[in-house]
Structure 1
Amino acid sequence: MFPVTVPLPEREGLGVGLGLNSADRPGARSTPGPSRSGRGADSLAIYVHWPFCVSKCPYCDFNSHVRAKIDEAGWRDALLADLAAEAAITPGRRVHSIFFGGGTPSLMDPATTAAIIDAVAGHWQVDRDAEITLEANPSSVEAARFAGFAAAGVNRVSLGLQALDDAALKMLGRPHDVAQGLAALDIAQANFPRVSFDLIYDRPAHTVEAWQAELKRALSFGTEHLSLYQLTIEAGTRFAVLHAAGKLRTPDEETSADLFDLTQDMTEAAGLPAYETSNHARPGAASRHNLSYWTYGDYVGVGPGAHGRRALASTVRHKKPENWIDAVQGGSGISITDRLDPAVRASEALMMGLRLRSGIDRAQFEQRTGTALDAAVDAAAVAHLTGLGLLENDPTGLRLTRAGRPLVNAVLRDLAL
């Protein structure tokens, strides 16, 4: 009954910057586009998946792989070829965001990042204020490498701190300690105009008092954005095996609810209210890239296992890196292309949009799905949930109340036709 806490698309693709750095790299190669407030139906987000990690975390079910040696030049060429294949399908579009996810894309050579950003600018018109985000793990952060990413055009970093407690980091299988994490945060803040970091709470034996102290410290660092995820046990992970064997116990439902409520109260008081179930930001600092997912905008996904959606179709790339490489050499990394009928589009847009604090805009929902919002939900359920104070329904749209936000999954089950 509590929020879906795996960062849906941003860690794919769950996670979140504004304005290019002074290099203004893509803008120098493209015509200025409208600001984000004027983003229209032609706007596109680009997701690039780098699947490699130093180690596999026991809670992670993302498409990540540990490899002793990587042919970076070969990978760069393959990503550029996959990107070119997508560009041939989506000509004439504007790009408002580029997101490097993984895996650990901060293991990538900055020159590879630069080549991909330049290629995007060559294929599409890129907004001068485009958000360009790179996910990073503290163990892969070096000052020189971060300076290289900034020079390449990256203007936002999402840092996977995950905890501010050494024992918790060890339990989570993270290859860094708190000191390394905070050093990486300092380097990020010195190099990028926009910085976000992730924390996982609702961990085994996690108490309200411990999380209160940890979150207070996190909020003192002055970043504009935080992604705060309740730990979930995902099938196929090491944690799932331990949980099934009774060797890993997460907090009870009442404690989980208290932890969630405390998170909302503290971030709100600090000026970083939740704008999505697990994402918190200062006004104007929400992730443009992730908003594309949550508002059902179009996006291109390249790299192993990456998902995309453009026009009326969704795409999935081959998941295994070696299979993806072989497919790209044959022309495209796409494994599956599905035509999305209006009912599927409406269901997906409802699931994503209701996670937003602002909820679902009626006009935008119909424009992007081909279905009126009222026709996509159970009218009796809407009336019932509104009466319970869990949902707000008005001429502009549909949104969860403060009481309803922790119950997003249950509400969605009731609303679905």
Structure 2
Amino acid sequence: MARALYIHWPFCLKKCPYCDFNSHVRDGVDHDLWRGALLADLRREAEMAGGEALESIFFGGGTPSLMPPALVSALLEEAQRLWGFAPDIEITLEANPSSVEAANFAALASAGVNRVSLGVQALDDAALRFLGRLHGVDEALAALGVAQEHFSRVSFDLIYARPDQSADAWEAELTRALALGTDHLSLYQLTIEEGTRFATLVREGAFAPLEDDPAADLFALTRAITARAGLPAYEVSNHARPGQESRHNLTYWRYRDYAGIGPGAHGRRGGFATTRHKKPENWLASVAAKGHGTQEERALSPMEQGAEAVLMGLRLAEGMDVGALAARLGLAQGDLIEADRLALFIRQGLMWQDGPRIGATEAGMLVLNSLIAQVTPDGLAG
């Protein structure tokens, strides 16, 4: 049964040019309609995945900080009634660092949110304009200060490996970020995703992405700087002081069950993959017709689950316990990992093994996608 709950709020004030998430811009949002629909979707999911107290809730988007705090409160109250909350439940909400949204932080904290993740994205005004953000650096820093007053745990995101970004410039920006006093940072390399405005601009020659080698150098630099500062990478792009890791995201990476509601939300429960309708209007129509927004519930074979678990687990610095995973799925360890390839990568210094637990080394993290493709059997994903 699910011990983590994801709630998707799909609306943004503006679509960022790099974003391929399920986010939408609308002239107006009927909050009463959305309250009723989200509560209905929540009740349906509790029927299917209830039974154990929730350990984490994550409001993602879109821009969930645009939600009225009363709506956040209503969803949390209903989730607690349906599931129950663990005593130390982590409740995270993603927020844009604007003065308008920061004005809601006190009310969101009163509603039960105890961790916030701010989409700062850059500490340089020119970079923020390039990334299509509506805030500037001063506004972001002010919002961060407000967040630190109201929430016990605060994280923020930065995007690096931007076009022509030098190692010196990124080191200075990251050093400044580390001095701001949060215990968690999400540091993402800029990737050009198909279907985004940036993908179009790159095709048109408006700008060129940073090349692979300089980007890899910045990745290695990022890990070195954050480790020295006491916020080592515990996942490819996430850095935290020990004990401050995102418990919700660890649910995904450790391949544990989670429930997902709202437009486009995914879930994993009892060997089934669940997907909600992506377009807000289609999701609303589904809730009105069926009482929930589910588009598909599909049984995953043990091999499919194994493929997903390996893909997620090897992202973690702690690696993954192949023996425990194999036992859980009723598979042999050889169904999940090619022993000869693993031994080769260990000799090359790209992977490590400690009993049944395996993982990627610092050098291996630089080529992680290639490692995963080569260390898993050809038939793992079916």
TM-score (ref. length: structure 2):
0.96
Work out the CA distance in 1 between the residues paired with 2:139 and 2:156: 14
Q: Which residue of 2 aligns with 1:149?
A: 108
> Helix, strand or coil: the match of 2:106?
helix
> Which one of the candidate residues 345, 370, 382 is aligned to 2:330?
370
Deviation of residue 222 (structure 1)?
Answer: 0.9
Deviation of residue 247 (structure 1)?
Answer: 1.9
Contiguous gaps of at least 5 residues in structure 1: 1-41
Deviation of residue 395 (structure 1)?
Answer: 1.3
Query: Structure 1 141/404 Cα, relative in aligned 2: closer, same or farther at 3 Å?
Result: farther
Work out the CA distance in 2 between the residues paired with 1:139 and 1:67: 19
1:104-148: per-residue Cα shift (whole Å, max 9, x none)? Answer: 000000000000000110101210100000000012644541000
Residues 335-354 of structure 1 aligned to structure 2 (within 5 Å) = 335-354=295-314
The answer as to 2:97 corresponding to 1:138 is yes
Work out the CA distance in 2 between the residues paired with 1:223 and 1:368: 36
Q: Which residue of 2 aligns with 1:27?
A: none
Deviation of residue 378 (structure 1)?
Answer: 1.9
The answer as to 2:323 corresponding to 1:382 is no
Do the aligned residues in 2 keep the contact of 1:159 with 1:198 (CA within 8 Å)? yes
Q: Which residue of 1 aligns with 2:380?
A: none
Give the residue type in structure 2 aligned to 1:351.
Answer: L
Deviation of residue 58 (structure 1)?
Answer: 0.2
Worse-matched range after superposition: 139-148 or 81-90: 139-148
Do the aligned residues in 1 keep the contact of 2:322 with 2:336 (CA within 8 Å)? no
The answer as to 2:43 corresponding to 1:79 is no
Work out the CA distance in 2 between the residues paired with 1:269 and 1:141: 35
> Which one of the candidate residues 140, 145, 163 is aligned to 2:122?
163
Do the aligned residues in 1 keep the contact of 2:266 with 2:276 (CA within 8 Å)? yes
Residues 205-354 of structure 1 aligned to structure 2 (within 5 Å) = 205-329=164-288, 330-354=290-314
1:23-51: per-residue Cα shift (whole Å, max 9, x none)? Answer: xxxxxxxxxxxxxxxxxxx5510000000
> Which one of the candidate residues 41, 46, 63 is aligned to 1:104?
63
Worse-matched range after superposition: 259-268 or 372-381: 372-381
Deviation of residue 368 (structure 1)?
Answer: 4.3
Give the residue type in structure 2 aligned to 1:71.
Answer: D
Q: Which residue of 2 aligns with 1:416?
A: 376
Number of paired residues?
A: 376
Do the aligned residues in 1 keep the contact of 2:314 with 2:360 (CA within 8 Å)? yes
Q: CA RMSD in A?
A: 1.2
Work out the CA distance in 2 between the residues paired with 1:78 and 1:368: 35
Contiguous gaps of at least 5 residues in structure 2: 378-382
> Helix, strand or coil: the match of 1:404?
helix
Query: Structure 1 170/116 Cα, relative in aligned 2: closer, same or farther at 3 Å?
Result: same
Give the residue type in structure 2 aligned to 1:52.
Answer: F
Work out the CA distance in 1 between the residues paired with 2:341 and 2:204: 38
Query: Structure 1 231/65 Cα, relative in aligned 2: closer, same or farther at 3 Å?
Result: same
Work out the CA distance in 2 between the residues paired with 1:290 and 1:128: 19
Deviation of residue 248 (structure 1)?
Answer: 1.9
The answer as to 2:364 corresponding to 1:401 is no
Give the residue type in structure 2 aligned to 1:191.
Answer: H
Query: Structure 1 373/291 Cα, relative in aligned 2: closer, same or farther at 3 Å?
Result: farther
> Helix, strand or coil: the match of 2:98?
helix
Query: Structure 1 170/287 Cα, relative in aligned 2: closer, same or farther at 3 Å?
Result: same
Deviation of residue 363 (structure 1)?
Answer: 4.4
> Helix, strand or coil: the match of 1:332?
coil
Query: Structure 1 139/227 Cα, relative in aligned 2: closer, same or farther at 3 Å?
Result: same
Deviation of residue 254 (structure 1)?
Answer: 2.0
Worse-matched range after superposition: 218-227 or 82-91: 82-91
Worse-matched range after superposition: 277-286 or 371-380: 371-380
TM-score (ref. length: structure 1):
0.88
Identity %: 55
Give the residue type in structure 2 aligned to 1:197.
Answer: F
1:258-313: per-residue Cα shift (whole Å, max 9, x none)? Answer: 10111011100000000000000001000000000000000000000000000010
> Which one of the candidate residues 312, 315, 326 is aligned to 1:355?
315
Give the residue type in structure 2 aligned to 1:388.
Answer: Q
Give the residue type in structure 1 aligned to 2:364.
Answer: G
Work out the CA distance in 2 between the residues paired with 1:307 and 1:163: 29
